[in-house]
């Protein structure tokens, strides 16, 4: 699918070029160009050279209207070599044969007074070839798929079969001659890609003469003898004894001649058979040598392949060992790093636990200090409250004393006495001050400072 898309894109690009650039591209790619001035043909030649599968696709699309397989047997391809007759069929539209299971029969051809035909059909992924004969005959046959490039590489299949007119099977051959992939590959030389055709050569030689010919020849010989023998009877109705003796001698001579000719024929047949056996032996010997050579070459190739695979496997194993060693080293480094981190975490945990214990002890001590400070604060606040009450009481007394003093002063009219009373008051004032409670004395500021310090220290402890 991708090859087709690329080929179509390549073709669309080439169609926009002129003949000069197309010829230059074809010369650089060593592509044989058709004898024409059509840019379309040039583009197709370049694309088909780059994408051989596209040539097959185009040809198959053109052959959709001609899907039937046709046979042709040119007269110049018919020949006789010794006792063996050969006929060559050119089969077209071979590529369509692999897609169907139909039987394709060739036109009948004459050999030895009998009608023969060739059967072609597909057997799974292989080409099957059979020789068809409806009469009774014992023969050897050879069916060859001709290699059009190298004739020595043709595929030959030999067989010996006794055909019988009484049998229901009148086709004998080979179920798997060649794979279609091999047959339809232009590089192998069997398939002509231009005409989609192959050449099949059929060779036939009789092991025994056909019965029909023997039946036809025997009555003729009998008729001739009767004619020869009846003629003298008409001339001489009553032959003499000497003539009878001469006739017997002539018959004996004829019999001797017949036996001699039969002996010569048998000798010729034996010589021919020996030659065929010698040829068969040589062919078998050559095939054996070729098979041994092929086996040796295949064994060498297999050995080289095994060596390469072993080397490749050893190289991969070595690389895998190196990678495994590297992974082990990295794992060891990671393990050592993890151990170091675990040790650091353990030390940090121990330090944190020690700090926690220290903080807990300090917290307990701080709580004790806070409790004691709270108790002191409560006592101080209680003493301050008492002092405040005392101060309030003393202030009330001072106010009462001042009122009494004012009343006394208002009742005395004399000024000296007033001054004296003033002096008395001045003398009584220090006494009153001395009688003031602690809260109204100068020590009251000191107590306030102590209370402020206690509050600040308590706030600082609670804040921490």
For each of the chain's 464 residues, which pLDDT tens digit applies? Answer: 566 666 666 666 766 666 677 777 777 777 777 766 566 677 777 777 777 776 667 666 655 545 578 888 877 778 888 778 899 999 998 888 888 777 888 888 888 888 888 999 898 889 999 999 888 888 999 999 999 888 888 999 988 888 887 776 778 899 999 999 999 988 889 998 888 899 999 999 888 877 654 334 333 333 333 333 333 333 444 444 444 444 565 566 667 667 777 777 788 888 888 888 888 888 888 888 888 888 888 888 889 999 999 999 999 999 999 999 999 999 999 999 999 999 999 999 999 999 999 999 999 988 888 888 888 888 888 888 888 888 888 888 888 888 888 888 887 665 444 444 444 444 444 444 344 444 444 455 666 777 777 677 666 665 55
CB 41 within 8 A of CB 34: yes
Q: What is the third-level CATH fold of 70-212?
A: 2.60.210
Q: Does residue 190 sit in helix, strand or coil?
A: coil
Contacts of 376 (CB under 8 A, 6+ apart): 454
Give the Cα separation of 266 and 400 in Å (integer): 185
Both structure tokens of 193: 């890609």
Instruction: State the helix-helix crossing angle for 2-14 and 52-62, rounded to 10 degrees.
Output: 90
Contacts of 163 (CB under 8 A, 6+ apart): 133, 134, 135, 136, 137, 138, 139, 170, 172
SS3 breakdown of the chain: % helix, strand, coil, rounded to 5?
65, 15, 15
* 204: nearest Cα among 273, 276, 112: 112
Is 0.95 topped by the overall pTM? Answer: no
Both structure tokens of 101: 């299971």
Residue ranges of domains in the chain: 2-65, 70-212, 363-410+432-463
Give the Cα separation of 410 and 421 in Å (integer): 11
């Amino acid at each position: 699918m991708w090859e087709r898309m690329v080929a179509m894109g390549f073709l669309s690009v080439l169609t926009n070029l002129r003949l000069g650039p197309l010829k230059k591209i074809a010369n650089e790619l060593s592509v044989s160009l058709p004898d024409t001035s059509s840019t379309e043909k040039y583009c197709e030649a370049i694309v088909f050279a780059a994408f051989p599968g596209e040539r097959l696709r185009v040809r198959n699309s053109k052959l959709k209207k001609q899907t039937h397989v046709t046979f042709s047997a040119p007269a110049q391809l018919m020949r006789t070599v010794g006792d063996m007759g050969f006929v060559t069929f050119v089969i077209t539209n071979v590529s369509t044969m692999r897609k169907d299971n139909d039987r394709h029969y060739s036109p009948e051809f004459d050999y030895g007074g009998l009608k023969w035909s060739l059967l072609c059909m597909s057997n799974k992924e292989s080409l099957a070839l059979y020789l068809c004969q409806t009469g009774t005959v014992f023969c050897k046959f050879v069916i060859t798929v001709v290699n059009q490039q190298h004739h020595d590489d043709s595929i030959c299949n030999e067989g010996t079969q006794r055909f019988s007119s009484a049998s229901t099977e009148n086709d004998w051959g080979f179920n798997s001659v060649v794979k279609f992939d091999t047959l339809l590959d232009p590089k192998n030389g069997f398939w002509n890609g231009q005409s989609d055709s192959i050449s099949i050569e059929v060779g036939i030689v009789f092991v025994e003469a056909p019965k029909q010919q023997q039946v036809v020849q025997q009555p003729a010989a009998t008729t001739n003898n009767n004619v020869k023998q009846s003629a003298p009877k008409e001339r001489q109705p009553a032959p003499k004894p000497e003539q009878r003796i001469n006739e017997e001698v002539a018959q004996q001579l004829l019999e001797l001649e017949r036996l001699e000719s039969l002996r010569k024929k048998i000798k010729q047949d034996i010589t021919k058979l020996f030659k065929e056996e010698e040829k068969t032996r040589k062919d078998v010997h050559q095939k054996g040598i070729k098979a041994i050579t092929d086996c040796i070459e295949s064994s060498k190739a297999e050995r080289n392949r095994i060596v390469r695979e072993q080397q490749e496997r050893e190289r991969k194993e070595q690389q895998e060992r190196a990678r495994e060693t590297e992974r082990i080293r990295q794992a060891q480094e990671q393990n050592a790093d993890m151990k170091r981190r675990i040790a650091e975490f353990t030390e940090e945990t121990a330090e944190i636990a020690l700090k926690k214990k220290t903080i807990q002890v300090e917290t307990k001590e701080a709580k004790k200090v806070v409790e004691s400070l709270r108790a002191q604060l409560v006592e101080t606040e209680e003493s301050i409250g008492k002092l405040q009450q005392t101060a309030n009481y003393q202030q009330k007394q001072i106010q009462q004393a001042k009122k009494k003093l004012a009343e006394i002063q208002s009742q005395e009219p004399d000024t000296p006495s007033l001054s004296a009373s003033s002096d008395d008051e001045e003398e009584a004032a220090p006494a009153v001050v001395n009688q003031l409670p602690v809260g109204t004395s100068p020590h009251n500021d000191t107590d306030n400072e102590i209370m402020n310090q206690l509050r600040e220290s308590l706030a600082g402890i609670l804040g921490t």
